[in-house]
């Protein structure tokens, strides 16, 4: 399989195929916990490792460590003033945590989106976001309201591009029908452990399809509309790259063994094999690496150039399924 441009690159956005997820910057999720020198040190080491392996795109959300992740990243940018124009920063909004008066909820109202972006920009210390994602579907969404917020953010220069996270193609189409700005990203949980995105394709007209929660047609819609698919949790919490296998299913154990064999075959790391499995998919998936451990980040280096054969790709897929293909 030949290496192709990913959808963002086809839109002339010079994004690396690997993305560093910044969810763990800033320590715990207690908003009252201070940001420490250790948090800044961790951030700098993670940033150095990411840049070293060619990553130039960084994924945030306004809720990550209750806003502290963006503040840590802001300090990293202040220490490297020329870096902002060389990287792509993506953040998300739309999730509201519960408190004494209100429940945990999602909010795509225009006012909340606009206020959220102002908060994101203040915490990041930047004048614009390259990409804003709507974090999780809001059942009470009014697409006209979202379109109004997007128009205002684009006109003001605060956000250059827009996308979504955890949405089906039907939800994207509804939003797109009211907005002149294209939704160019959809971030979903996909990994060698979360294989629903493949099972929707091979299980059509099969009984097993009925138990698959991955939205049918979303992969195909993304390819037709040049929407960048991003995967969160792409390393599968380390199941196949050195994590403990105690209590894991037989399919996980066998898949981990196969990953190790392929890593030896390709003279690379297990992390690179796990990510390459995703990146070999013809939709051009962007894995969002969730670790800030610099050693694990560097271990992902070869994934950017490694593409698995069709046979090895299917070996891993079938091993993870734990059952043969139909």
Is residue 48 situated within a structural domain?
Answer: yes
Cα dist from 23 to 71, 253, 275, whole Å:
12, 28, 19
Can you give the pLDDT at residue 1? 44
pLDDT of residue 213: 82
pLDDT at 204: 76
Output the DSSP codes for 191-258.
Answer: SSS--HHHHHHHTTTSGGGGG--SPTTHHHHHHHTTPEEEEESTTGGGTTTT---TT--HHHHHHHHH
How much is the pLDDT for 208? 63
Task: With respect to residue 263, please indicate whether it lies within any of the assigned structural domains.
Answer: no
* Residue 287: strand, helix, or coil: strand
Residue 244's contacts (CB-CB under 8 Å, 6 or more residues apart) are: none
The 10 Å Cβ neighbour count of residue 4 is: 11
Residue 249 is assigned to a structural domain of this protein: no
What DSSP assignment string belongs to 73-140? HHHHHHHSTTSGGGSEEEEEE-EE---SSS-SEE---HHHHHHHHHHHHHHHT-S-EEEEEE-S--TT
20 in a domain, yes or no?
A: yes
> Does 224 fall in a domain?
yes
User: What are 279-316's pLDDT values in tens digits?
Assistant: 999 999 999 999 999 999 999 999 989 999 999 999 99
Q: Is residue 306 part of a domain?
A: no
pTM of the model: 0.95
Find residue 186's DSSP bridge partners: 164, 229
Domain that holds residue 145: 7-235+282-292
Instruction: Say which residues have a Cβ less than 8 Å from residue 181's Cβ, sequence separation at least 6.
Output: 150, 151, 154, 161, 162
CATH at residue 181: 3.20.20.100
Within a domain: 254: no
Give the pLDDT confidence score for residue 212 in this predicted structure: 73
Number of domains in the chain: 1
| Residues in the chain where the model's pLDDT stays below 70 | 1-3, 208-211
Between CA 216 and CA 169 the distance in angstroms is 8
- Answer whether residue 305 is part of any domain: no
Q: Is 253 exposed, middle or buried (0-12, 13-18, 19+ CB in 10 A)?
A: middle
């Amino acid at each position: 399989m030949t290496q192709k441009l990913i959808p963002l690159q086809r839109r002339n956005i010079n994004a690396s195929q690997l993305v560093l997820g910044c969810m763990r910057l800033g320590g715990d999720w207690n908003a009252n916990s201070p940001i420490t020198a250790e948090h800044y040190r961790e951030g700098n080491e993670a940033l150095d490792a990411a840049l070293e392996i060619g990553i130039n795109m960084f994924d945030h959300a306004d809720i990550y460590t209750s806003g502290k992740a963006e503040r840590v990243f802001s300090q990293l940018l202040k220490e490297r003033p020329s870096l902002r124009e060389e990287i792509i920063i993506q953040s998300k909004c739309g999730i509201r945590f519960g408190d004494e008066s209100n429940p945990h909820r999602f909010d795509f109202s225009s006012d909340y989106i606009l206020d959220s972006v102002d908060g994101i920009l203040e915490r990041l210390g930047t004048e614009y976001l390259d990409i804003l994602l709507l974090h999780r579907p809001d059942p009470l969404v009014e697409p006209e309201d979202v379109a109004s917020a997007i128009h205002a953010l684009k006109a003001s220069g605060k956000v250059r591009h827009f996308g979504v996270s955890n949405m089906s193609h039907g939800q994207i189409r509804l939003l797109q029908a009211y907005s002149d700005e294209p939704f160019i990203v959809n971030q979903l949980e996909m990994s060698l452990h979360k294989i629903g995105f493949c099972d929707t394709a091979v299980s059509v007209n099969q009984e097993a399809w009925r138990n698959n929660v991955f939205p049918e047609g979303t992969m195909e819609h993304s390819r037709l509309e040049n929407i960048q698919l991003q995967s969160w949790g792409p390393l599968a919490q380390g199941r196949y790259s050195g994590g403990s296998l105690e209590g894991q299913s037989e399919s996980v154990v066998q898949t981990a063994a196969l990953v190790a064999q392929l890593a030896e075959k390709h003279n690379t790391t297990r992390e690179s094999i796990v990510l390459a499995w995703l990146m070999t998919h013809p939709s051009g998936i962007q894995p969002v690496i969730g670790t800030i451990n610099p050693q694990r980040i560097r271990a992902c280096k070869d994934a950017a150039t490694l593409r698995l054969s069709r046979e090895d790709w299917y070996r891993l897929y079938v091993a993870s399924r734990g059952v043969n293909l139909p």
